[in-house]
Amino acid sequence: MNFIIEVLKATIPAGTPLLLGALGEIYVERSGILNLGVEGMMIMGAISAFSMTNITGNVWLGVLISIIIGGGMALIHAFNSITLKANQTLSGLALTMLGLGLSGLIGKGYIGVPLSGKLHNLPVYGFKDIPIIGPIFFDQDPLVYISYVLTLIFWFFLFNTRFGIELRSVGESPDVADSAGINVAKIQYLATFIGGMMAGLGGAYLSVVYAPAWIEGMTAGMGWIVLAITIFSLWRPERAILGSYFFGCIRVLQYRLQPLGISPNLLNMLPFIFTILVLMLAAREISRKRISSPSSLGIPYFREKTL
């Protein structure tokens, strides 16, 4: 029992960068934009947060800069796909390459450097004594609590506010949204920007809280897993929790199973194999429930076409 609680307690931080990234990407894809550059934005978030924290000694400044950098990178993608209406797949891939390259360049001097600031665990008074749930969910660092709140906010805004309705209608049928007087480009820019900020934040969590260290290419495919979680969540923030913690748990088990003599290389395959399995699961559910991805996902919106 203690072992299970221990694994689950470790699962939450392992899944948090994925959750943060997925929440953002859900908004991006809901607006009809496909940003495959999550990996690049996350790793740039990771290095910028790490270097800023090291320079200032303040974790929160590191977190702040990662959000700005992530959002800034997303604006490149927004410009490519919304203003230029260029190919979104290629633009996303380019963002990933840029991020991996630039982070390696900036991070060269930070390899093996210990982090000067630290985020301590902050048990929530009252909640932490609830049996089982308390130690798992409420004996974590402040950013984990922020991720809970953000999930709630993302869910609330998507389904209960005017912005959420506009966001969803832009992704479903931009021409209808346009004729209803919604500024399609503005919504899409905003969504893409939010997605980038969240990916940057996820990267920051990885390098300044979870690791805490800078390792070149430390996202190691997490950005792509975020994209899979986005699909698995059926574009619903509350379902992203499930997917993110599932992959967090796999990551924890990867380390726990290593002493049993299983090849670390084989264990490293696990998240990627499960990504494919989870996608298959989601595909079944999508066809059974007759839901679909946002209809205009990845398709540039030309106003001329609808006139």
DSSP states along the chain? -HHHHHHHHHHHHHHHHHHHHHHHHHHHHHTT---TTHHHHHHHHHHHHHHHHHHHS-HHHHHHHHHHHHHHHHHHHHIIIIIS---HHHHHHHHHHHHHHHHHHHHGGGTTPPPS------PPTTGGGSTTHHHHHSSS-HHHHHHHHHHHHHHHHHHHSHHHHHHHHHHH-HHHHHHTT--HHHHHHHHHHHHHHHHHHHHHIIIIIIS-S--TTTTTTHHHHHHHHHHHTTT-HHHHHHHHHHHHHHHHHHHHHGGGT--HHHHHHHHHHHHHHHHHHHHHHHHHHT--S-TTTTPPPPHHHH-
End-to-end CA distance of the chain: 64
**Does 145 interact with other proteins (rule: CB under 8 A)?**
no
**Does 302 interact with other proteins (rule: CB under 8 A)?**
yes
Q: Which is nearer to other proteins, 165 or 299 (CB)?
A: 299
Residues 259-278 vs other proteins: string with x where CB under 8 A?
A: ----x-xx-xx--xx-xx--
Instruction: Give the Cβ contact number of residue 83 at 10 Å.
Output: 12
**Does 2 interact with other proteins (rule: CB under 8 A)?**
no
In the region spanning residues 166 to 225, those forming contacts with other proteins, defined by CB under 8 A, are 216-217, 220-221, 224
In the region spanning residues 214 to 253, those forming contacts with other proteins, defined by CB under 8 A, are 216-217, 220-221, 224, 227-228, 231
Q: Which is nearer to other proteins, 202 or 300 (CB)?
A: 300
**Does 11 interact with other proteins (rule: CB under 8 A)?**
no
**Shortest distance (Å) from residue 94 CB to other proteins:** 4
Among 87, 163, 213, 256, binds other proteins (CB under 8 A): 87
**Shortest distance (Å) from residue 222 CB to other proteins:** 11
Among 283, 285, 291, 295, binds other proteins (CB under 8 A): 283
**Does 108 interact with other proteins (rule: CB under 8 A)?**
yes
Among 129-137, 147-155, 207-215, 280-288, which window interacts with other proteins (CB under 8 A)?
280-288
Residues 52-81 vs other proteins: string with x where CB under 8 A?
A: ------------------------x---x-
Q: Which is nearer to other proteins, 108 or 186 (CB)?
A: 108
Task: Give the binding site for other proteins (CB under 8 A).
Answer: 36, 40, 76, 80, 84-87, 89-91, 93-106, 108, 216-217, 220-221, 224, 227-228, 231, 263, 265-266, 268-269, 272-273, 275-276, 279-280, 283-284, 286-287, 300, 302, 304-305, 307
